[in-house]
Chains A and B, each alone.
Chain A
Amino acid sequence: MAVKKFNRRTFIKAAAASGVVGSVPMYLSLADHKKVASEEPLKKVWSQCNGCASMCSKAVYSKNNRLWKVEGHPLHLKSGGRLCARGHGMAADVYNTSRVTQPMKRVGDTFEPISWEQAFSEIGEKLGKIVEEHKGDSVLWVEHGPRGKFYADILLDLIGSPNYCTHYSTCFTSKTNVWPKMVGDSLAADHENANYLLFVGRNFGGGIIPNGMNKIHKAIERGAKLVVVDPKYNEMAKIAHDWVPIRPGTDLAFYLGLAHTLISENLYDRNFVNRNVLGFSEFWEANKTASADWASEVTGIPADKIREIARDMAASAPKAILEPGWHGLNCHYVNSTQTAQMNVILNALVGNFYKIGGLYPGQDIPFGSVDRKMPPFKRKGERADGAGVKGKFPTVEPGRGIAQITPQLVEEGLIKAVFIYHYNPLRTAPNPEYQKKIKDAELVVVIPTDWNETAVHTAHYILPEDYYLERTETPRNNSGHLAHIYPQISIRAKALDPIHDTKPLREIVAGICEAMGYEGYFNFTIEDEVKAALSTVEGLTPERLYEEGTIEFTTHFMEGVPLEFKTSTKKINFKVPEYEANGFSGVPTWVPPATWPKEENEFRLIHGKQPWHSHSITANNPYLMAITKAYNGEWMWMNKVRADKLGIKNGDTVTVQSSVSTKQAKVKVTELVHPDCVWISNSYGNFSERQKDGYGVGVNFNDFLELQVEPMAGGTNSQEIIVKITKGVS
């Protein structure tokens, strides 16, 4: 299909993007990297961060292929010129001693190095046999997603497998399931221009988006009100006007109480609802009794506070926002999908859709694709994980899948070969002991950069990818999470030459395909891909994008509610037909969490992000772990009243027991967390001995979590964990 040329008209220039580079840096005193000749010029290349999924555009300064430092791109939507601790620290991880330095093959409990040629030919042969005996359907590719999808799809199409899976079900799946069905679009909040900001279970200061925090500060300076609802006093609570602690697991009740106030007090945007919404009266019929007083009983938030928040939102409407959120709440409880539905409903009730200061869609430019030989058509069976399959998980998105059940699919014999790319399910999916069963597949190929748990405990072959600073990738749109009226794109260019015997993903997948006898499907270079991607943008050369790193366009979003929505009914669905057709309630109503803490020593185990970590990979970074050490970042937060009752003092070691495991943790006794729960950062508990800095530090919520699948969206119910806590080691 020919894509219409995108007219850039003029680019907006980044004022500070091209400056004279300053004086000569000193060098990290790592043993294997000696000082280089001081006459060498300083090199500056625009890359994109890999410290989290925001991919902030950043300048990488180096000399003689030796990294000095990184700086944020002033124009980039997510960074705004600022990088977080992870952005700086993870750059230095190119020198981490836990990197896999060449291809590896399992021999018993250990690994031995092999050549790329041998790895490709052995994997190609084994995979060929598996496909012959069990069909392509028995092959699964699972990744963080969706960065490897373009190459993975070539392999999956060639062998005829429908099983491409992302980690989304372990992260934010209820949100992404709900928005297309209810709104037909995914809208981001325009925090900077809003007058009322309600953040529930979402925290730009912990799960950091640097420019997000920057915009929140600007909004507050302008007079906007920020209210943070969270069982834990999070980083945003510190700058909020109001921290409203909520009983964990009851956010849905809080939302229902807000909606009840807005509707019963006639504060909602009647015009917007009448014109655009289907299912309003069914929603109201089903929730008539869910008043602020009722919600107060369930959530522990005073009814007056719930009414005040609803009234304040209405008074600021349509420049009032309930932040649409991300991980927080969206794979946490059996009611997460209903909670996500309520997020859409509340924003719709204040009529903020497609408004400046409200919510509007990301502005993207279309990219072209490289001219290539396409795989011939092969019949594909049903997805092994049952996503989108009648009788299994019909409403879960098949494009994303259910990552946490991979070991179960191996156990049941549905999956014989597993490819795991840029993803570490052994640490980031429920019940690591069970996840280890992935190893029992006939072929397990792990494509990481470091010796993570998944590589160590499940891989038959480890094929190391170049570090992100060592590779060029195709350009990307920067949209998502923060509304911005102008489209902008960035590129990750190779800033350093690879220091180990690693390869980019394209060459890894090509090597496997070619070893299987599929010739000619990768007859393009990354430069061809970059050029093809930009072929839709008039006058924009790859050279110019490399030079500027991030480019912003002048075409822009204009306010206005669409005449039709891209849903099955062309309206905003308060009642979701797809849920109703599959036996679920179409409108959200109160569903209690599956579990409650009851005894004096029982707590709900909740988790969240700490500002200097993203995932398990950052918990092995020497710079970031030094911060953890300085501030006891791995300790488990417990409310003082509960700690006093159990005789637990700050810094004590306790035994934490769930239905899945028993482990020890240190406790931070604090006033900054709800008494019903204990809180830990999501990043710790690394158990790969090859990770020098992360190994054995702290515990992880997944250690305590049973394998579950939330039936509507496929989430992990990651906070349906009750732990018993006793002082000392028992």
Chain B
Amino acid sequence: MARYAMLIDASRCTGCGACRVACQMQHQLPPNMSFNRLEFRERGIFPTVKQEIVPVQCMHCDNPPCLHVCPTNATYKRSDGIVLVDHDKCIGCKYCMTACPYDARTLNEKRVPEKCKFCSEYVVQGQEPPCASTCMCSVRIFGDLDDPDSEISKAMAKKSVYQLIPEKGTRPRIYYVKK
């Protein structure tokens, strides 16, 4: 069984937004609905100043708070770890949106909460998610942690990593490279 994950090296990101639009095309989203976003921060004072950019999306938590609060089991976790929403079961209560500490969910035109799907139907065919494959700075590595030969397993072995808001105990499947 696969155990899908993503490794993000935010220090490489230059904030171009290609990941956003590539994902929108892949999933045929309208312009103002996006599954990923960037957080910008400035540190320091001119001229000794640095900019930080952090790409954020659904963390596909191993212990997903959105799933625990869903009254209809519309939010579910696949055996490969991908967290998905069954639109037919969703009643639109939006508990999941409040529960997500990463603000990863967004309402679609039918007012069903949606989010990054880890390109669930494509990755099982061996395709790379476009947010990773289109990035000119190679910020994201997507892959299977159970496969020791995968690019992500090799990179994780070499680099020290961190997760966002670990204190919530969500155990995200998205890791960030520590600099």
Q: Which residues of A contact B (CB under 8 A)?
A: 22-23, 25-29, 68-72, 80-85, 87-89, 91-92, 205, 208, 210-214, 217, 233, 235-239, 243, 245, 611-612, 622-627, 629-631, 639-641, 670-675
A80, A212, A217 — most chain B CB neighbours (10 Å):
A217
Question: Is B28's CB under 8 angstroms from A640's CB?
Answer: no
Chain B residues with CB under 8 A of A92 = 25
A-B contact pairs, 8 of them (CB 8 A): A29-B28, A88-B24, A213-B137, A237-B51, A611-B17, A623-B24, A626-B31, A631-B38
- Asked if B125 contacts A23 (CB within 8 A), the reply is yes
B29-71 near A? 1/0 per residue, CB < 8 Å: 0111010011010101111011101000000000000000000
CB nearest neighbor in A for B37: A630
For A674, what are the chain B residues with a Cβ–Cβ distance below 8 Å?
Answer: 46
Having A88-B24, A612-B16, one finds 15 other A-B pairs with CB under 8 Å, namely A26-B28, A29-B28, A84-B134, A85-B16, A85-B21, A88-B18, A212-B136, A214-B137, A214-B138, A235-B16, A612-B18, A626-B31, A626-B32, A672-B42, A673-B46
Known: A29-B28, A626-B31. A208 touches B49 (CB 8 A): no
Whether the pair A69, B133 counts as a contact (CB closer than 8 A) is: no
Number of residues of chain B lying within 8 A (CB) of chain A: 44
**Known contacts A239-B11, A624-B21, A627-B17; is A83 also within 8 Å of B134 by CB?**
yes
Residues of A within 8 A of B134 (CB): 71-72, 82-84, 88
Which chain A residue has the least Cβ–Cβ distance from B108? A29
CA distance in complex: A211, B16 (Å):
14
Q: Interface centre among A239, A245, A627, by most B CB within 10 Å?
A: A627
Q: Bound state CA distance, A632 and B134, in angstroms?
A: 24
Give the Cβ gap from A93 to chain B, nearest Cβ, in Å: 11
B113-129 to A contact mask, C-beta < 8 Å, 1/0: 00000000110010100
Listed in ascending order, the chain B residues whose CB lies under 8 Å from chain A are 11-18, 20-22, 24-28, 30-32, 34, 37-38, 40, 42, 44-47, 49-51, 53, 109, 121-122, 125, 127, 130, 133-138
Tell me, rounded to whole Å, the shortest Cβ–Cβ distance linking B177 to chain A.
13
Give the Cβ gap from A227 to chain B, nearest Cβ, in Å.
14
B16 A208 Cβ-Cβ under 8 A: yes
Interface contact B16-A88, CB-CB below 8 Å? no
A82–B11 CB distance below 8 A: no
Q: A239-B11, A611-B15, A611-B16 are in contact. Are A88 and B137 (CB under 8 A)?
A: no
Question: Which of A622, A630, A641: most chain B CB closer than 10 A?
Answer: A630
- Quick check: A68 and B18 within 8 Å, CB to CB? no
CB contact between A208 and one of B31, B136, B138 (< 8 Å): that residue: B136
Are A672 and B51 also in contact (CB < 8 A) when A22-B127, A84-B136 are? Answer: yes
* C-alpha spacing A501/B113, complex, angstroms: 40
Q: Per a CB cutoff under 8 Å, which of A69, A80, A208, A245 touches B47? A: A245
Per DSSP, chain A at the interface is mixed
Inter-subunit contact B16/A84 (CB<8 Å)? yes
Do B12 and A239 touch (CB < 8 A)?
yes
In the complex, the answer to whether B25 meets A243 with C-beta atoms within 8 Å is no
Residue of B nearest to A208 (CB): B16
Contact partner of A245 (CB less than 8 A), chosen from B18, B26, B44, B46, is: B46
In the assembled complex, the Cα of A559 lies from the Cα of B50 at a distance in Å of 39
Contact between A91 and B20, CB atoms less than 8 A apart: no
Once bound together, how far apart are the Cα atoms of A68 and B15, in whole Å?
A: 24
Report whether B46 and A639 are in contact in the complex, using a CB–CB cutoff of 8 Å.
yes
> B26 to A69, Cβ gap below 8 A?
yes
Across the interface, A68 reaches (CB within 8 A) one of B25, B31, B51, B122, namely B25
CA distance A584 to B76 in the complex (A): 73
Distance, CA A205 to CA B50, complexed state (A): 16
Pick from B42, B53, B136: contact of A671, CB below 8 A.
Answer: B42
- Provide the residues of chain A in CB contact with B21, threshold 8 Å: 85, 88-89, 612, 623-624, 627
Q: Are B49 and A672 in contact (CB under 8 A)?
A: yes
Q: Which 6 A-B pairs have the closest CB atoms?
A: A611-B16, A210-B136, A69-B25, A235-B14, A88-B21, A205-B14
Q: For the complex, give the distance between the alpha carbons of A112 and B136 in Å.
A: 44
Considering the complex, give the chain A residue whose CB is closest to the CB of B27: A26
A587 to chain B, nearest CB (A): 32
